[in-house]
Chain A
Amino acid sequence: MRRWTALLLAVLAIACGGGADGATRRTIIDSRDNYDPRSLDPALSTDVPTGRAVGYLFDGLTRFTPEASVEPALATRWDVSPGGDIYTFHLRRGVHFSDGTPFVARQVALSWQRVLDPKVKGGRGWPLYPIKGAKEFADGKSSRIDGLAVPDDSTIVVTLKEPFAIFPKLLAMPVASIAPDRIPANFGEAPVGTGPWKLVEWKHDDYLLFAPNRKYWGTVPRADSLKARIIAEPSTAVAEFESGNVDVLQIPQGDIQSWQEDTERKKLLHSTPSLELVYVAINTTRGPLRDVRVRQALNMAIDRRILVRNLIAGRGDLASGVIPPSLPGGVKTRIGYQFDTLQAKKLLREAGYPNGIDVDLWTSTNPIYVRIAETLQGYFQLSGIRAKIVQRESAAAREAARKGQADLFVKDWYADYPDAENFLYPLLHSANKGVGGNVSYFQNAQFDSLVTSARREQDETKRVALYTQADQLAFEQAPMVFLYFYNELNAVQPWIKGFVPPVIFNGQPWTTVTKTTVGK
């Protein structure tokens, strides 16, 4: 046996031969993707890893900065008609796709048409539905999109169904990116775009490797290459970061405390006010939950301060509405529901439930949501709310909530574009009940009218005021247990310069990020 051990160690020593040192590696390596992108075809971009990669390879008419403001991309500027329903986009000239084809206005219309085409099976047409005739085209009721006109190669005129002031923000979403005229069958594997990076190779479930697009119209990436590794297990991503093999790490929510308390690791942390609301959707059509007093009682039954402190090491801003405080319309001064079991019990009594209520509390198997559910269950009990936890794998849990079968459902909402509308409209407008995102099945005519007016309002100050009013109403009506806005935490290696973790997931093109190499 001793001989065997010696042999094994010798083999290991030869095989290992010194690991790759992070400081001398030239490729920048990202570890934030935890599953393989769906495709690299923008029309199929419905998830984060796909959207992130599509953002490297393609451009939209607009784009997000890391700080989540919207700036011109393939459109250099746009004019809005006085009525607010006609957008004339003036396109950038002299832009080429990575295969050399020139970029012209026709491709904008074709790309959007593809996104909406049922045959493409993308499934995410809604960012383009504000365009006149887009929904009819998607539903097969019309063979063309009425609202798109291409007067010349560098202009596209978009007529909307009704005024929608934040339309240019939606065009920065990956799904609205521009693809060339001809889309071969393997486009999802061999994409051709105008973006800052070109695809070198894609090893499924392993990594995507990108090289700078030297002919990029904007800032050509300064790094040699960019690799997006796909690491399913968060602990493994941490190990890769600690071994110096990856440059950026999203800190798993359960590990926050240990990173913040370690003086060395703490120096590498970057905090981002992410646009993620963590909440418990209350189905406002089920049993006692129809009563606003019961919903308010649920909000008062819990101590969110303790929950945020103990479960995510304090990295959340307590929510008192659905608009993140970092967005216009969000109110930092609104005092949220306070932990008060006496008041909660009193409200339940007034609503006619002196003996408390029984509810099902649904959660996915995501460890952080399971912990939230267990914590809430404990708090609820203090006020006579008997919650039964129903834990299901995430697709199944989400489906039950969408079908209106869950009383309470612990979930989150991550913004697609930085605007209060992206919280108010999908989460609580009655047009979006169920699959649209409103799993509270909340229906309130006044709220609907405020949000609808805000969507149409051209004047930003007035629009923001409408958002605030709608948010106040949502707060009072309590169609959810307001928990917190999560502030994302990323670790960045000391040899990386210029990386700012983006507020919106596709807001960091890595063009100005560099890696200092030591000893070379």
Chain B
Amino acid sequence: MTAFIIRRLLLSIPTLFGVLVVAFLLLYVAPGDPVMAMVGERADEATIARLRAELRLDDPLPVQFGHYIAGIAKGDLGKSYITNRPIRKDILERFPKTLQLAGAAMLLATVLGVTLGVLSARHPGGLMDRFGLAVAYLGISFPVYWVGLLLILLFAVTLHWLPPSGFGGIRYLALPALALGMRSIAFLARMTRSAMLDALGADYVRTARAKGLSEFLVVGRHALRNAMIPIITVLGLDFGAYLTGSILTETIFSWPGLGRYVVNAIARRDLPAIQGSVLFLSAVFVLVNLITDIAYAKADPRVSYN
């Protein structure tokens, strides 16, 4: 197992390098000049030329890239063109908040989604199953910004139960986590349902029942454990996606996370901030995928990496 983890970590280095190259090139192909964003609405050519020189934007692309890679190798993500703040500090300040939101969304998704899926699978076609289907349809079809605004309207403006937006304790976390987790709840519920239906029809479940095990043990231990693999896959992918900054959710709920940081950086063409965030988020994604793979082995003894 250790050898597997080390191999995977080493393999992630070329992946991340590739990500950097692509991100770097894309930014130079895309229209929009960082200096234009710095000078505001009114400027003069001399100022623009001076800033370009100061930021080394006129160097040939390979030179700029080499310069950037050299900084990364030293662990330096550079400074923002716009704010002059170190990118590393900016990311470290915002990532825990994104992590908190993603974690809460995943927790909600796991608890509600898996429960709903298991309950739906126990009596296919029953009332619970139809309810689960309705939830899944709504969760998958409604875009997150719409769900977000509806949640704010209902729980904040009309009922006054929760604050509409902002960062703070669990009161502030509840609505954005629900909005963000909605799609996963729906997806996991359907996923769990079909995996459970397969498992519940399998011979080992009949054996377990024949042994006289309680229904709770049959469903919880024997069937669910076998249904876990696709569920873990979905959880891993969604968690990775959420960690990379849930842009819409963070914007609607004024959540000061990494998603908004990246959007602001893109709007202002803040190249070092965009590149630094892309690198960091890719590393997170690679890591989450690795953890997912390890979780497979834990969930299913048949999976082995040695």
Contact = CB atoms under 8 A, between A and B. Distances in A.
Contacts of B301: none
Contact of B44 (A4, A41, A126): A126
Interface stretch (A294-302, A347-355, A429-437, A451-459): A429-437
Nearest to B90: A204
B47 A399 contact: no
Contact of A435 (B45, B94, B163, B254): B45
Given A118-B50, A119-B54, A399-B31, A426 B42 contact: yes
A72 interface: no
Contact of B82 (A38, A118, A232): A38
Contacts of A434: 45
B254 A123 contact: no
Interface residues of B, number: 62
Interface in B251-305: 251-254, 256-257, 260-261, 264, 267-269
Given A38-B82, A121-B38, A206-B167, A395 B254 contact: no
Contacts of A19: 156, 160-163
A123 B51 contact: yes
Contact of B115 (A4, A36, A124, A416): A4
B40 A47 contact: yes
B215 interface: no
Interface string B44-56: 1111101100110
Contacts of A130: none
Interface residues of A, number: 65
B36 A395 contact: yes
A396 B157 contact: no
A206 B47 CA distance: 32
A474 interface: no
A188 B267 contact: no
A239 B51 contact: no
Contacts of A416: 42
Contacts of B43: 123-124, 126, 435-436
Interface of B: 30-33, 35-48, 50-51, 54-55, 81-85, 90, 93-94, 115-116, 119, 128, 149, 152-153, 156-157, 160-167, 170-171, 174, 251-254, 256-257, 260-261, 264, 267-269
Interface of A: 1, 4, 12-13, 15-17, 19-20, 35-36, 38-39, 41, 44, 46-47, 118-119, 121, 123-126, 135, 138-140, 188-189, 203-207, 229-233, 235-236, 239-240, 242-243, 245, 392-396, 398-400, 402, 413-414, 416, 426, 432, 434-437
Given A19-B156, A416-B42, 5 more contacts: A123-B40, A123-B43, A203-B256, A236-B253, A426-B42
